[in-house]
Chains A and B, each alone.
Chain A
Amino acid sequence: MNENPLPSIIPDKEWKKIQRMLSKRSLWMIHFCTGCGAMEMPPVMTSRYDMERFGIIPMATPRQADLLLVTGYVATKTLKRIVRVYEQMQDPKYVIAFGSCPINGGIYWDSYNIIKRLDKYIPVDMYIAGCMPRPEAIMDAFLKLMKDIDEGKANGWMRYRKYYDQYRRNQMRIFKRWDE
C-alpha cells in the first residue's frame, strides 16, 4: 500500500484503515474467463444482481483493476497469461478463484495440461466452490471478500511479495521457459 502522506496528522494505523475502507468500497474487477464463468458473470453485472451497487465494476485492463477473477480450469498455457495479468495489477490486489477447477483440478484432475491448485502459483484470497457456481455464490464471495479486506485478512498481495521466490519456483516448474 501507499505510504502515509501526512504522518504527522493521520496515525499510521488510521491510514491503513482508511485505505482498506476505500479499496473495499471500490473494487474494480478484471475477469479472466478460461472455462466457465462467461455465463454467470453477466447476471452478476447487469440488472439481475447488479454488483455496481457495491462499487464493483468490470475493467478492461489489468493496470486499472484491483480484483482478478480466475474462472474455471487453468491450462498450463493460460497460467502464464494469468501470472502476467496478476503482475501487471497495482497493489493492493485481490484474487478470487471461481469454480472447483482452480481449487483442486475438478474434473480435470488427471489431465496432462491442467494445473491443479492455483494457489501454488499466485496467492488466492477467496475461493468459490461449485461446478459451476451460481451468481448468488459470486455475490456472496464479493461480500465476504469486502469483509475480509475490511478486517485486513485479504493480504494475498503481501504474501506474493514475501514469498516471491517460492511462487516463482513453482511457476517455473510449469513453464520451463518464460518467453514462449
Chain B
Amino acid sequence: MVTDWLIHAGLVALYLFLAMVIGLLFMGIARKITARIQNRVGPPIYQNFLDLGKLLAKKTNIKHNWIFDFAPLFGLGGVLLILAYLPMGGYIMLSGQGDLILLLYILAIPALGFALGSGASGNPNAGVGVMRALTLMLSYEMPFLIVILSLMIFYNTASLSVLLQKQMNYLWGIAALPISALAADIALQGMMAEKPFDIPIAPHEIASGPLVEFGGKYLGLLMLYSAGSIVVETSLFVDLFLGGGIVLNPTVYGTLAYFVNYLVWLALIFVVWMIAIFVNAVFPRFRIEQAFKFYWKWPTVIAIAGLVQAYVMSVFLGVVP
C-alpha cells in the first residue's frame, strides 16, 4: 500500500522533472534553429540550462510586495498542476470525470498568477503586457473551445483518458477531424505566444511586457514556468489529436509500452513545437486588434466547419469510435 503510493509519487516527480528538462531543451533547440534560419551560428542547445543556472545564482534584491514575490511560484505551481493532468506518453497521474472541461479552467491558472504578479509591480509596461495577454487569451480561446466541443461530440466523452483510449482503438483525431486539427494548431500558436502572436511579450515595444520587473531568481522561476508551458501546450495538442503518442497498448505490453509511448510522445511534441518555431522564425508581429480580428475570423470559421463535420459524422452517418 505505502510502497505503491511511494512508487506513484516517485514516478510523478520523475515525469514532472523530465517535462521541465524537455522544455528547457526545446527552448535551446528553438534558439538554434531560429539562428540557422537567419543564417547565424546560434547558441549551443544547452544554452538555456546555463541561463537558468545563472539566473538562479544571481543575487536578487527587488522589493515590491508579497504578491510580486508569490507570483512566480504561483505560475510554476499552476504549470505543474496542468502537467499532472495531461497524460504524457499515456501515463495518467491525475484524472477524473470530465477532466477535459477541468483542463480548460486550470489552463488559465498560471497565466492569471503571472498577471497578478506583474500587475503588482506597478510598472506601466507590465500593465500593458497583461492587458494584451488577456485579450489574446480571449481571442484564441474562441476557436479552441469550438474544437474541444467537436472532439467531445465526435468521441462522445469529456474525459481525457477515455479520449486517449478511443483514439488508440479507433483513429487518431487528426485523421478523423483534420479541419478541427488545423484550427487547433492555429490557436496553439497564440497560446504559445510565438510570432505572429508574441504581442504580450514584445521586447521592442513594451520592454518584454509582464516580465519587465522580474530579474534574477524570479526570472529563473519564470523561465522554468515557460519551459513547462511549452510541454503543456504541445502535449495538449498531441493528446487531443495525435492520440497522446500511444502506439502500444499498456494493458498488453506493460512497462515496455510506457517506454515506447513516451518516446513516441516526445517525437510528436517535438514535431508540433517545430511547426510553431518555423512559423515563429519567419513572421513579423501582429498588433493586438489584428490578432483579435484574425482569431475570431479565420480559425473560428475553420473550427465551425470542423464542428459541422464532427456533428454530421457522428449523428447522421453514425460513425461511432
Taking Cβ atoms with an 8 Å cutoff, the residues of A that contact B are: 1-2, 18-19, 22-23, 25-26, 28, 46-47, 50, 52-55, 59-61, 63-64, 66, 89-92
B293 within 8 A of A: no
CA distance A59 to B41 in the complex (A): 19
Question: Which residues of chain B have C-beta atoms less than 8 A from A52's C-beta?
Answer: 31, 35, 40-43
Name 10 A/B residue pairs within 8 A (Cβ), A-sorted. A26-B50, A47-B39, A50-B35, A53-B42, A53-B43, A55-B43, A60-B208, A63-B62, A63-B215, A64-B208
Question: Which of A18, A23, A50, A59 meets B42, CB within 8 Å?
Answer: A50
Kindly identify, within residues 22 to 71 of chain B, every residue whose CB is under 8 Å from any CB belonging to chain A: 31, 35, 38-43, 47, 50-51, 53-54, 56-62
Taking Cβ atoms with an 8 Å cutoff, the residues of B that contact A are: 31, 35, 38-43, 47, 50-51, 53-54, 56-62, 203-204, 207-208, 211-216, 219
A52 and chain B: residue at smallest CB distance:
B43
B215 and chain A: residue at smallest CB distance:
A63
SS class of chain A's interface: helix, strand, loop or mixed?
loop
Contact check, B216 vs A90: say whether CB atoms are below 8 A apart.
Answer: yes
CA distance A29 to B39 in the complex (A): 22
A113 to B: closest C-beta gap in Å: 28
Question: Which of A50, A60, A66 meets B40, CB within 8 Å?
Answer: A50
Residues A2 and B207 in contact in the complex (CB < 8 Å), given A47-B40, A52-B35: no
CA distance A90 to B207 in the complex (A): 17
Question: Which residues of chain B have C-beta atoms less than 8 A from A50's C-beta?
Answer: 35, 40-42
Question: Which residues of chain B have C-beta atoms less than 8 A from A18's C-beta?
Answer: 53, 57
Question: Which of A22, A47, A89 meets B57, CB within 8 Å?
Answer: A22
A51 to B: closest C-beta gap in Å: 10
B56 and chain A: residue at smallest CB distance:
A2
